[in-house]
């Protein structure tokens, strides 16, 4: 008997479309951790990342018949999660505008001094902070390449850019990270 690890994603997609719900459950188990880590690196909130992954799997299930196999199923899922991360960011940004008159002066002074110095953070936290400062395209390309281990061809599909643009964005992200790290003592 074949183990579940021997079955490729496309066979499981076909099985799901044929009505075998357990095939989609296996796809969820197979990709859930990677997608959660990917979403978390974008939103930096474990509850929001879990919600994004859950809604992404629901979207994937309801749109599975639209999966055209122009890329791997893994890449297609990453694209859905990335879109959900961007939507969450837009929702957060829309609700984040508070008139300064509504904020107490003492609270503004506290928030100006409350962020820890980067030198006091560990390397992992410092790198995460630097990655979060990257422009959106560079951040997503970097995360897709390093943490999701997607090749540039697949990253280009997720981002809807050329493969060369994906490579250039990755190069700029790495260059920017190195320069920020060199600035810190």
Say whether both 85 and 123 belong to one domain: no
Q: Say yes or no: 3 and 90 in one domain.
A: yes
Residue 25 has pLDDT above 60, yes or no: yes
pLDDT in tens, 118-137: 455 677 788 888 888 899 89
Please provide the DSSP assignment of 85-144 as one string: HHHHHHHHHHH----GGGS-HHHHHHHHHHSPPGGGS-HHHHHHHHHHHS-HHHHHHHII
Give pLDDT tens digits for 28-69.
999 999 999 999 988 989 999 999 999 999 999 999 999 988
| CATH number of the domain within which 28 lies | 1.10.1740.10
Residues 5 and 41 in one domain: yes
Tell me which residue range forms the domain holding 166: 118-185
């Amino acid at each position: 008997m074949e183990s579940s690890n021997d079955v490729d994603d496309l066979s499981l997609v076909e099985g799901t479309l044929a009505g075998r719900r357990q095939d989609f459950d296996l796809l969820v188990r197979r990709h859930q951790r990677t997608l959660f880590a990917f979403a978390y690196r974008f939103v930096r909130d474990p509850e929001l990342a879990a919600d994004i992954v859950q809604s992404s799997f629901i979207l994937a299930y309801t749109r599975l018949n639209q999966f055209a196999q122009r890329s791997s199923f893994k890449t297609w899922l990453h694209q859905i999660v990335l879109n959900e991360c961007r939507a969450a960011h837009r929702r957060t940004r829309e609700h984040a505008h508070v008139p300064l008159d509504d904020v107490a002066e003492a609270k503004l002074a506290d928030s100006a001094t409350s962020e820890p110095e980067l030198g006091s953070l560990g390397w992992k936290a410092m790198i995460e902070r630097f990655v979060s400062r990257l422009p959106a395209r560079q951040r997503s390309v970097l995360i897709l390449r390093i943490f999701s281990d997607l090749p540039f061809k697949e990253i280009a599909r997720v981002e809807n850019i050329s493969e060369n643009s994906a490579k250039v964005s990755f190069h700029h992200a790495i260059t920017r990270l190195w320069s920020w790290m060199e600035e810190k003592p």
